[in-house]
Amino acid sequence: MQSLLNLEASRTSSADVTRIVRTTQDRLRAVALVHDQLHRSQGLRDVVIRDYAQAVLDGIGVSHGLDGRGIALVLRASRGVIGMNDALRIGLILNELVSNAAAHGFPAQRRGRIAVSVARAAYGRVCVKVSNTGVPLPARFVPPPDRLGLAIVANIARHSGGRFWWSRRNGASFHVELKQS
């Protein structure tokens, strides 16, 4: 799939089409990583949270050239395993939130840090937090209706019986709480 998308992207000079193709590739990579991690696991049912989250972040870091832009990507993750469905949801959430932080929090030559936390919580919940030291969110931030990323995150949270919110603390922070399946 990645190669087909690269071929399609090479046939256009439109920056919008190139952005859409890259975003689609990032989403596909997050899904493919679940399958890769499952094949590495013992029972083909569970994924090690820390390993999976790090693999997703490594892919995003390469895709967005974060090292070369002076943007540090830091992970704090719980020990233990999660099921395939939860891993898929977490991977998609990480992809959207970290990609948004890289694209919107660090314009031009701005350097900084994106901190990611994935933690198991009480009552069968998983909490995901992505914060950055980049450009703060506007005082009355409302997700743009023409952007799919935050809508995906909100839908995943809602469909899992969880919630999604953000704050302007030290740049921007996005929080997702999911009910484990």
Per-residue pLDDT reduced to its tens digit, 72-83: 999 999 988 888
Is 136 a residue whose pLDDT tops 60? Answer: yes
76 or 169, which is more confident? 76
Per-residue pLDDT reduced to its tens digit, 106-129: 988 899 999 999 999 989 999 999
DSSP conformation letters of 115-164: EEEEEEETTTEEEEEEEESSSPPPTT----TT-SHHHHHHHHHHHTT-EE
Query: Per-domain residue ranges for the chain?
Result: 2-179
Is residue 151 left, alpha or beta, with left meaning phi > 0 and alpha meaning psi from -120 to 50? Answer: alpha
Is 2 a residue whose pLDDT tops 60? Answer: no
Query: What's the rounded mean pLDDT across residues 53-61?
Result: 90
2 or 19, which is more confident? 19
**Cβ contacts of residue 12 below 8 Å, gap of 6+?**
18
Least confident among 20-29, 33-42, 155-164? 33-42
Confidence of residue 165 (pLDDT cuts 50, 70, 90): very high
Confidence of residue 66 (pLDDT cuts 50, 70, 90): very high
Write the DSSP symbol of residue 83. Answer: E
Q: What is the pLDDT of residue 10?
A: 67
33: helix, coil or strand?
A: helix
State pTM to two decimals. 0.84
170: helix, coil or strand?
A: coil
Q: What percent of the chain has pLDDT over 90?
A: 44
Is 44 a residue whose pLDDT tops 70? Answer: no
Q: What is the pLDDT of residue 168?
A: 85
On the 0-12 / 13-18 / 19+ scale of CB atoms within 10 A, 138 is: exposed
Q: What is the pLDDT of residue 6?
A: 58
Query: What's the rounded mean pLDDT across residues 30-34?
Result: 69
CA contacts within 13 A on the Cβ side of 163: 2
Query: What's the rounded mean pLDDT across residues 55-60?
Result: 90
Helix axes 15-40, 84-104, angle to 10 degrees: 150
Q: What is the pLDDT of residue 148?
A: 83
In CATH, the architecture of 2-179 is 2-Layer Sandwich (3.30)
